[in-house]
Amino acid sequence: VGDPVAQDEEVASIETDKVDIPINSPVSGVIRELLVKEEDSVVVGQDLLKIEEGAQPDSADAPKPKSQEQAQPKHEEQPAPEPKVEEKAPSPAASHPQPQQQPQQQATPKQSKPAPVESTPTHPVSTTPKLGTRGEHKVKLNRMRKRIAERLKQSQNTAASLTTFNEIDMTNLIDLRKTFKDEILSKHGIKFGYMSAFTKASALALQAIPEVNAFIDGDHIVYHDYCDISVAVATPKGLVTPVIRNVESMSLVEIEREIASLGKKARDNKITIEDLAGGTFTISNGGVFGSLYGTPIINMPQSAILGMHAIKERPVAVNGKIEIRPMMYVALSYDHRIIDGREAVTFLIKVKEAIEDPRRMLLDI
């Protein structure tokens, strides 16, 4: 209260179950009253604070004492480390000998070493926290994490979840990336990775196996004629899944540009609800964290999710000979209520074929 604000200046942030929404001041003026407190729950359309439009003469004086208050602790913080050091050295010391110890520590820092040695035999327990602590602290779940927990548990309780696996030889895709990554970077200003290829391959497979791109709505099955693919992105607050829309009509470079844009927005906490809405299929890349094998959880109400994993060199049989190839395990978790094993396995094989021979993605076969 009393702080001046400029128009469009952020004055608050509302934490939802998906994103944090910044609240900007509609006018320039002075805050006169706060109508809610931090951590309060609010509803749509609720007033948050009162702003007196237009700068007032007394508002100029408001920030001055604050700047002075902020400046004072800075001066006080300078001598603050000295008593902290003294407290560590002679733990049972009283307040009277402290002024005598200050010049000793400044003049002869070596004298600070025997202090803990003297206190060790009299207080041997005081050294225990330095070796290891058994403390605990409690942190409140943010709304996003609570919502993630609810959605994942809902997925387990609702879907008849099953997972099928396969392995992909990444040799040709790695060669494609090495050959053209510099040209793509110089021409388009983006880095060519593997996610765009898996996203495009998934879109081709979704069109071939429409059940994987559908979902159950009551007594009906809803089929999508488009492929809106959610890409899982890790953020400090939790996992979010921004959506790349109409992937079936996008090129690899266009997909890569959209992935980079959405990933940056998510990491900068600028992702919007519109970016997360919808999605017909999800891809989760645990390989960036080193995961070798895993079963992803379906992102409801979708019916399937593809899990990518780390690329590891392994001996494999190629034309009757043992060769060392860069291999990746992939997993497809699917809702068995709508997708049978044949469709799930066929979908994963089509992704495997497209990745192992990227020319298929250019020829749409």
Active site residues: 336, 340
**What is the length of the chain?**
365
Burial of 306 per CB tally in 10 Å (0-12, 13-18, 19+): buried
Helix, strand or coil for residue 247? helix
Residue 255, number of CB atoms within 10 A of its CB: 21
Q: What are phi and psi of 85, to 5 degrees?
A: -65, -35
Structure tokens at 132: 């290891």
Using CA atoms, how far apart are residues 309 and 288, in angstroms rounded to an integer?
A: 7
Is beta strand 229-231 parallel, antiparallel or unpaired with respect to 281-285? parallel
Amino acid at 18: K
Closest CA to 204 of 71, 339, 358, 43: 358
Tell me the C-alpha to C-alpha distance, in Å, between residue 250 and each of 198, 199, 263, 283, 332: 13, 10, 18, 17, 23
